[in-house]
Amino acid sequence: MKSLFYLPFWFSKAKFSGSKRPLQTVLFISDKCNLTCKHCTVYQLKNPHIKTYEQVKEELEYSYHLGSRFVDFEGGEPTLWHDGDKDLNSLIRLAKAIGFYSTTITTNAQMPFTNSEADSIWVSLDGLGDFHDEIRGKGAFERLVKNIAAANHPELSVNMVINSQNYTSVEETIEFAKTNPHIQSISLNFHTPYEGTEDLFLDWDKRSEVIDLIIQKKKAGYPIMNSVSGLKLMKHNQFKKQCWVSNFILSDGTRLAECPGSTAGVCDQCGFSMAGEMHSVFNLKPDTILAGMKLRM
Ligand SMILES: C[S@@+](CC[C@H](N)C(=O)[O-])C[C@H]1O[C@@H](n2cnc3c(N)ncnc32)[C@H](O)[C@@H]1O
Ligand code: SF4
């Protein structure tokens, strides 16, 4: 309910007074992981950073004071996190106590998360069956299906990162999201070619074809989170980015006022759908505003 008042306040300050205060925080609590996905440059196998409860508390308070009211706990794999008797749910309760309106976790769903107290859960799903396993490792798809069924969380969505290996699985993955009773919706993103993963970048012509397919599915009523306006922008990526809408705090404690993609120099090839969605919101596209409200409330 509080977000009903805060969102228009935040938006009018950003749109009309040029304020650049973050709305959301992407907080990497560790870079330890139980998978080694082909497209990922985040995980650390040797000597991973694992934040303490106190460090996360300080980072949450810092982000709250910047103006952020939504937090996404990221990693590495956030469900692996603990500090003594504190676990991921302890961080969720902490964020709520500080004043965050909503908490999200992004997980690979390889570990059970039946007791998660997060308001919403994003599960990374990179295609059906072998497509997913080709990127994430053998057995990963089966474990994901089992764990999302066991969790039966009321606000669980999946997030697909489309790349040169899995783009032919997009349609069946959208179908799967519609028919699986434990999935509310699907968000579609494209691979961002961080150093060492350039071969997974999907060329622009294929990307455009895939976007046309997604738009067709969206218009046919499939539960696709992306807006049509945002999707169209992702075809060419030539638009002003509003990446300061989220502040990022990396596993090593680095605090960034915007997405790490800008320091990595990959913005021109960015595949994060949020970039297009944010540009459309600031250009007052009704379909994107509606999609954003749905996500945030
Ligand atoms: C880094 S992971 C951390 C959370 C968790 N381990 C998981 O896999 O969901 C967060 C999200 O970033 C996505 N991701 C990783 N590398 C990416 C890349 N190069 N381009 C686009 N998305 C990427 C993952 O697929 C996942 O959905
Ligand atoms: S599960 Fe997540 S953090 Fe781990 S390697 Fe895969 S994308 Fe990276």
Q: If you take atom 27 of ligand 1, which residue's CA is the nearest one?
A: 124
* CA trace torsion 65, 250, 77, 192 (10° rounding): 110
Q: Distance (Å, rounded) from C-alpha 98 to C-alpha 137?
A: 38
Instruction: Return the structure tokens found at 292.
Output: 């954003």
- Mean pLDDT for the chain? 93
Atom of ligand 2 nearest to the CA of 76: 3
296 phi and psi angles, rounded to 5 deg = -85, -20
Strand, helix or coil for residue 249: strand
Atom of ligand 2 nearest to the CA of 40: 8
Q: What is the DSSP string of 116-171?
A: ---SEEEEE--SSTHHHHHHH-TTHHHHHHHHHHHH--TTEEEEEEE-TTTGGGHH
Ligand 2 centroid from CA 97, angstroms:
29
pLDDT digits 0-9 by tens, 163-172: 999 999 999 9
Ligand 2 centroid from CA 241, angstroms:
25
pLDDT for the residue 289: 64
Q: Tell me what the mean pLDDT of segment 68-90 comes to.
A: 97
Q: Tell me what the mean pLDDT of segment 36-45 comes to.
A: 96
Count of beta carbons in the 10 Å neighbourhood of residue 165 = 18
Q: 138: pLDDT confidence band, cut at 50, 70 and 90?
A: very high
Q: In what order do the strands lie in the sheet with 255-256?
A: 186-190, 156-162, 120-124, 102-107, 70-74, 24-28, 246-249, 255-256
In the predicted structure, residue 137 carries a pLDDT above the cut 90: yes
Ligand 1 centroid from CA 75, angstroms:
9
In the predicted structure, residue 17 carries a pLDDT above the cut 90: no
Q: Tell me what the mean pLDDT of segment 67-71 comes to.
A: 95
Q: Tell me what the mean pLDDT of segment 42-62 comes to.
A: 97
Number of residues assigned to the chain: 297
pLDDT digits 0-9 by tens, 216-235: 999 999 999 999 988 999 99
CB burial of residue 51 (10 Å; 0-12, 13-18, 19+): buried
Ligand 1 centroid from CA 215, angstroms:
23
pLDDT for the residue 158: 98
Q: Would you say the CB of residue 261 lies under 6 angstroms from ligand 1? A: no
Strand, helix or coil for residue 52: coil
For the chain, report the end-to-end CA distance as a whole number of angstroms: 8
In the predicted structure, residue 111 carries a pLDDT above the cut 90: yes
Ligand 2 centroid from CA 17, angstroms:
38
Out of 101-105, 159-163, 240-244, 293-297, least confident range: 293-297
Q: 244: pLDDT confidence band, cut at 50, 70 and 90?
A: confident
pLDDT for the residue 243: 84
Instruction: Return the structure tokens found at 138.
Output: 């053998």
pLDDT for the residue 239: 81
Q: Tell me what the mean pLDDT of segment 211-216 comes to.
A: 98
Q: Return the best residue to mutate from 107, 108, 122, 135 for the ligand 2 pocket (most ligand atoms within 8 A of CB).
A: 108
Q: Which of 50, 107, 20 is nearest to 250 (CA)?
A: 50
pLDDT for the residue 19: 82
* Encoded amino acid at 72, one letter: D
pLDDT for the residue 95: 98
In the predicted structure, residue 1 carries a pLDDT above the cut 70: no
Q: Distance (Å, rounded) from C-alpha 49 to C-alpha 3?
A: 33
pLDDT digits 0-9 by tens, 248-274: 999 999 999 988 998 899 999 999 988
Instruction: Return the structure tokens found at 272.
Output: 């994060």
Atom of ligand 2 nearest to the CA of 36: 5
Q: Return the best residue to mutate from 33, 132, 197 for the ligand 2 pocket (most ligand atoms within 8 A of CB).
A: 33
